[in-house]
Each structure stands twice: as structure tokens, then as C-alpha cells.
């Protein structure tokens, strides 16, 4: 797109025109975040116009037409939200880092046709290439091949413009070449700590009024009223530990905190920290904090922190996790002076947490995030039905019926109810304006959800 900046819109129109003319066709937009960033966050008029043009063009596509638009990005959260609505990009697929089997398949593809010695064990290579993505594996295969080429170069008479075929025949890629290549090529997953800009505000978090106030005072104030804070000699917390059942909004709160303090957001899942940086988790921790300082003000969110810090005395506590924890603690100590990097951790197993984490100067603010009470459920239901077409709904009944539900459960039933209404619409082929979510859609969704929860025997108490 860069090439056509001045005329990007025109160019886009003609691409869509051409695709329609040649249908069936697929339009592939790579790195869509660069042409369709969030409109309220870019200053340039050109970018804004490009986003609107893209929206118009996608809306203009006939749903039964034979043009499909596929876009790719590694920063889904920086894309303008309007593009992610139904009728536009309405399917989202995350293409994760390949697992061992995936890496094996990718290696097979990239070594196809390469003259390899039999001793080269792709199975073994796929085992030791944790965190490598497709491009890294391709680079690895190329690098190994280059190694083999380098070996024969001394035999080649560079005066001649062709390499004799018997010399070529001799090229063999060995497992030693792969070992050498592994030294050169590092996994990109390790290089990359994803910095996001969440757009969740306090209004998107239902209930938990006291918790919001507490966080506003202890985190927002030190950032916004630094002088006053210093003046009265108040000490903001170093780290915050949120604990409570799954799906009660811990992640949501951390994101809202980042958004409300205009901070960047780095989210790390404990188990991923161990597996992604296999053998190098401490380096991972350093990298995370380095990125956070660079991106300050920044909120670092460690989800499922219990996986990193099994309570002492259990034998699951290998020295790997211990080292990771001490690394986190020493990084947090280093933050002492600067309160523009805030560390938030979450767990649903507070009993599993190493008490060393809870000492003063560390995660010294521990906040419980319980399942919502009636008031909280009312607010959460309102949040998740706000943008949905509702018939007359008896909200109070729904609040009563969902005793014991977490926020994530409420989100899920609102969605399920909307799907039921949609199914009816598709079946009757009715006008879009007439789609309405009924009380029955919601109560049915609640019933089904309760059955599922019981089936999964979640430890919840339903009335």
C-alpha cells in the first residue's frame, strides 16, 4: 500500500473491482494493521480515509458473491474495531506458534528436495525447536543448506561458470549442519513480547465497584497525581494480585486499568512463559520487563501466575520455576522508583502462591475478584446486551436465574441467545430489522449453560 499512499483509495477500489470481475476470487491483505489502524488513534487523514474506504468496499460485497477477503495481522488489537463486526471480517482465526507436530510438518516441506544425509532426524529437530514459527524453520533449513554449500565451495573452480555435476552430487546436508544452523537462527516467539493497547474501559466491567475504586486510588492516582502522592508520602503498591474463580473478569480489569491510565499492556500466561521460552524463561522475564520499560507507562499482566510459583514444599517446584520467580521479583525490585510500570498478576488458586511473592514490596495488594452478586450480574447482563436487539426482557428474572454465574458465563449466555435469534431469522428468512432476542432465548441459554456447567462439574452453587 505504501507505494500508492496518495492514491490508496483508488487503488483499493480497483482491486475490489478486479476481484469482482474475476470472481470467484480471494483478496488477501497482509499486515492489515498498517492500513487499517484504529481510527481514533491515528492522526493522519489518509489513514482514516483508507479505513473508511475499506469498510465501504467490504459492505459493498454481496454476501453470496464469490469474493472472499482474507486479512492477516500479528497485532489484532490495533485494527479498527469496525472491521471486526459481522458482515466484514466476521471469522477470526488465530494461527498460533506451531507445536512439535506442526514444526515437523513444516520442516518436511522446507527440506523437500534437499539432499540430506539419512542421519538427519527431523523428528529430533522438531523437538528442540520450541518457539520457532514457520519462517524460522524455513530460515533454519536454508541455513543448514548453506552450511553444506560452504563445504564444497573450496572444491569449486570459480573461474568456470558452472559447477560440475559430480561436485553437486556430493552436496549432502548433515545433522551437524542443522546443529550449526540452530546456533544461528533464533525463534521469533522469543524475540517478541507483544505490546497491546486495550480498549476496555471501566464501564465494560460490571459490578466490582469497590475494587474499581481501590484500583483507581492505588494505581491511577500515583500515575495521574504523582506530585500529590509524593507530597503526602503515600506509597503505591508494587504489584497487585487478583484472585478469584475463572471468568470473573480478572483479565478484563487488568486491561481496563491499562486503558484508563493510558498505558500499554503486556499479557503473559504463566504456562506460556515456561513453554515458549523453554530453558530460557528467565531471559523471557527480563525481555518482558525490558519491553515494558520501553513501552512505559505499561501494565504487565501475569495470568495464571500460580503455574510459575507452586507453593514451597510441593515437589512440582522445580528450580526452573523458582528461578523464574526470583527473576520476576528482582525485576519488580528494580521498578521501585518508577511507578509507570505496574505489575498485575491473576490466579484462581491463591493457595498455590509462593508466600515470598506476597511480602511487602512485592505483590503487596491482594484483591479478591469474586463471582458477581445480583447487582453485579445485572450490570454485566446490561453490558453484554447493550448492543443487542432485545424484546421486552425481564432483567430481574434473569438476574435471579443466574445465581452463581461468573461474568464469562453471562457473556456466553448473551451470545448464545443472540445466536438463537439469528437462527430463527435465517430459518424464516426474515428482515434483519425484525430480529429480536426474546426472554425465552435467554432463559433457554441459561438452562443449557447450567447443564453444561453441571456436566463439567464446576464447583459452583446454583440455586
Which residues, 6 or more positions from 179, have their beta carbon under 8 angstroms from its beta carbon? none
Q: To the nearest whole angstrom, how small is the minimum distance from the Cβ of residue 243 to ligand ADP? A: 9
3-class DSSP assignment, residue 408: helix
| Distance between first and last Cα of the chain | 57
198 binds ligand ADP (CB under 6 A): no
Cβ closer to ligand ADP: 107 or 383? 383
Q: To the nearest whole angstrom, how small is the minimum distance from the Cβ of residue 145 to ligand ADP? A: 44
Torsions phi, psi of 322, nearest 5? -60, -45
Contacts of ligand ADP in 243-262 (CB under 6 A): 246-252
3-class DSSP assignment, residue 232: coil
CB atoms inside a 10 Å sphere around CB 259: 18
3-class DSSP assignment, residue 54: helix
- Which triple of cell numbers denotes residue 190? 522469543
Q: To the nearest whole angstrom, how small is the minimum distance from the Cβ of residue 376 to ligand ADP? A: 6
Contact flags string 328-357 toward ligand ADP, x per CB under 6 A: ------------------x-----------
Cβ closer to ligand ADP: 222 or 247? 247
> Rounded CA gap, 30 and 347, in Å?
36
> Rounded CA gap, 257 and 386, in Å?
22
* Binding-residue total with ligand ADP (CB under 6 A): 17
Cβ closer to ligand ADP: 77 or 176? 77
- Which triple of cell numbers denotes residue 454? 453441571
Is residue 347 within 8 Å of residue 308, measured between CB atoms?
no
Cβ closer to ligand ADP: 103 or 450? 450
Q: To the nearest whole angstrom, how small is the minimum distance from the Cβ of residue 417 to ligand ADP? A: 15
Q: To the nearest whole angstrom, how small is the minimum distance from the Cβ of residue 407 to ligand ADP? A: 2
Q: To the nearest whole angstrom, how small is the minimum distance from the Cβ of residue 205 to ligand ADP? A: 5
Torsions phi, psi of 369, nearest 5? -115, 90
Cβ closer to ligand ADP: 12 or 413? 413
Contacts of ligand ADP in 380-419 (CB under 6 A): 380, 383, 407-408, 411
Contact flags string 66-105 toward ligand ADP, x per CB under 6 A: ----------------------------------------
Choose among 340, 366, 342, 343: nearest CA to 353: 366
> Rounded CA gap, 236 and 257, in Å?
15
Binding residues vs ligand ADP (CB under 6 A): 205-208, 246-252, 346, 380, 383, 407-408, 411
Amino acid at each position: 500500500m505504501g507505494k500508492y499512499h496518495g492514491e490508496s483509495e483508488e487503488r483499493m477500489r480497483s482491486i475490489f473491482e478486479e476481484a469482482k470481475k474475476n470472481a470467484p476470487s480471494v483478496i488477501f491483505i497482509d499486515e492489515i494493521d498498517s492500513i487499517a489502524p484504529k481510527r481514533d488513534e491515528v492522526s493522519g487523514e489518509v489513514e482514516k480515509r483508507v479505513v473508511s474506504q475499506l469498510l465501504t468496499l467490504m459492505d459493498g460485497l454481496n454476501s453470496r458473491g464469490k469474493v472472499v477477503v482474507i486479512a492477516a495481522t500479528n497485532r489484532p488489537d490495533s485494527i479498527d474495531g469496525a472491521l471486526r463486526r459481522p458482515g466484514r471480517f466476521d471469522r477470526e482465526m488465530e494461527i498460533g506458534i506451531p507445536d512439535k507436530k506442526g514444526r515437523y510438518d513444516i520442516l518436511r516441506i522446507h527440506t523437500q528436495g534437499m539432499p540430506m544425509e539419512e542421519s538427519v532426524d527431523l523428528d529430533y529437530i522438531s523437538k528442540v525447536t520450541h518457539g520457532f514459527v514457520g519462517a524460522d524453520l524455513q530460515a533454519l533449513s536454508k541455513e543448514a543448506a548453506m552450511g553444506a554449500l560452504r563445504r564444497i565451495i573450496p572444491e569449486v573452480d570459480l573461474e568456470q561458470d558452472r559447477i560440475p555435476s559430480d561436485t553437486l552430487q556430493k552436496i549432502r546436508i548433515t545433522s551437524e549442519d542443522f546443529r550449526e544452523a540452530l546456533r544461528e537462527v533464533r525463534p521469533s516467539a522469543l524475540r517478541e513480547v507483544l505490546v497491546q493497547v486495550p480498549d476496555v474501559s471501566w464501564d465494560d466491567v460490571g459490578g466490582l465497584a469497590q475494587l474499581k475504586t481501590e484500583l483507581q486510588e492505588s494505581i491511577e492516582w500515583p500515575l495521574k497525581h504523582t506530585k500529590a502522592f509524593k507530597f503526602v508520602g503515600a506509597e503505591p503498591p508494587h504489584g497487585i494480585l487478583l484472585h478469584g474463580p475463572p471468568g470473573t473478569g480478572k483479565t478484563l480489569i487488568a486491561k481496563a486499568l491499562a486503558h484508563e491510565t493510558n498505558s500499554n499492556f503486556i499479557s503473559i500466561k504463566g504456562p506460556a512463559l515456561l513453554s515458549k521460552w523453554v530453558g530460557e524463561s528467565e531471559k523471557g522475564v527480563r525481555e518482558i520487563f525490558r519491553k515494558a520499560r520501553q513501552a512505559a507507562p505499561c501494565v504487565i499482566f501475569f495470568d495464571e501466575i500460580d503455574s510459575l510459583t507452586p507453593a514451597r514444599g510441593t515437589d512440582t517446584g522445580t528450580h526452573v520455576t523458582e528461578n523464574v520467580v526470583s527473576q520476576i521479583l528482582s525485576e519488580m525490585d528494580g521498578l521501585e522508583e518508577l511507578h509507570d510500570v505496574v505489575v498485575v498478576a491473576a490466579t484462581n488458586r491463591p493457595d498455590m502462591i509462593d508466600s515470598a511473592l506476597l511480602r511487602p514490596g512485592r505483590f503487596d495488594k491482594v484483591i479478591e475478584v469474586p463471582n458477581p452478586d445480583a447487582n453485579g450480574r445485572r450490570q454485566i447482563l446490561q453490558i453484554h446486551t447493550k448492543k443487542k436487539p432485545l424484546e421486552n426482557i425481564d432483567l430481574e428474572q434473569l438476574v435471579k436465574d443466574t445465581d452463581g454465574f461468573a461474568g464469562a458465563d453471562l457473556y456466553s449466555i448473551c451470545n448464545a441467545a443472540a445466536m438463537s435469534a439469528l437462527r430463527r431469522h435465517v430459518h424464516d428468512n426474515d428482515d434483519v430489522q425484525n430480529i429480536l432476542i426474546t426472554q425465552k432465548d435467554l432463559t433457554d441459554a441459561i438452562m443449557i449453560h447450567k447443564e453444561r456447567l453441571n456436566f463439567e462439574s464446576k464447583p459452583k452453587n446454583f440455586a
